[in-house]
């Protein structure tokens, strides 16, 4: 609801939230690859990963909306916003990975437990970086098309499909 009030739309928060399911398998794959278990620390790492991935999507969607409000066409706005927001997203990713490396390689009491959190964040963030940069613009364009559908446009499409010989409506 906070995102819906921020964007004055229910569609754009859905666009942003579609990147979250991508981060779950990424974090779990990294844990599995390093032979680590799911515990409280790795769950905290997953929650932090969700927040970072969501922030990256917000950056893209917000700037795309800003460019579209200035009159730019959707495809051009998506391309420009992905190009412009790549630098802040990369800076966030690199700083988080660099900050988590000492925790991942840490020694001492409890270091093994905390390492699962760091590995989840590092690996999940690196995998989600590419997925978010690719998936968010695609989902934005799909949901933008759906948002433009009105009942009259849907009925016109069904009528047009029904009058074409040899085609099914759906």
Task: Decide: 133 and 89 in contact? Cβ < 8 Å.
Answer: yes
The rounded distance, in Å, linking the Cα atoms of 140 and 39 is: 34
Is 60 a domain residue? yes
CATH number for the domain that contains residue 137:
1.20.1640.10
Contact partners, residue 85, CB within 8 Å, separation at least 6 = 59, 60, 63
Query: Please, are residues 92 and 17 in contact by the beta-carbon 8 Å criterion?
Result: no
Domain count, the chain: 1
Would you state the pLDDT for residue 138?
A: 92
Residue 170 maps to a domain: no
Residue 45 lies in a domain: yes
Among 115, 93, 132, 130, smallest CA distance to 37 is for: 115
| Domain carrying residue 36 | 2-163
Higher pLDDT among residues 132 and 165, named by residue: 132
pLDDT digits (tens, 9 = 90+) for 104-140: 888 878 787 788 999 999 999 988 888 888 899 999 9
Residue-wise pLDDT for 6-16, tens only, equals 777 788 888 88
């Amino acid at each position: 609801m906070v995102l819906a009030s921020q964007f004055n739309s229910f569609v754009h928060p859905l666009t942003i939230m579609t990147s979250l399911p991508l981060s779950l398998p990424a974090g779990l794959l990294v844990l599995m690859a390093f032979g680590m278990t799911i515990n409280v620390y790795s769950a905290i790492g997953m929650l932090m990963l969700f927040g970072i991935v969501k922030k990256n999507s917000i950056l893209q969607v917000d700037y795309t909306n800003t460019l579209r409000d200035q009159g730019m066409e959707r495809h051009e706005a998506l391309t420009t916003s992905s190009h412009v927001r790549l630098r802040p997203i990369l800076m966030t990713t690199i700083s988080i990975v660099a900050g988590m490396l000492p925790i991942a390689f840490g020694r001492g009491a409890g270091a093994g437990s905390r390492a699962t959190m760091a590995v989840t964040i590092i690996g999940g963030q690196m995998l989600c970086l590419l997925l978010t940069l690719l998936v968010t613009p695609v989902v934005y364009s799909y949901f933008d098309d759906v948002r433009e559908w009105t009942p009259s446009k849907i009925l016109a499409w069904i009528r047009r499909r029904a009058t074409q010989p040899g085609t099914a409506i759906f």
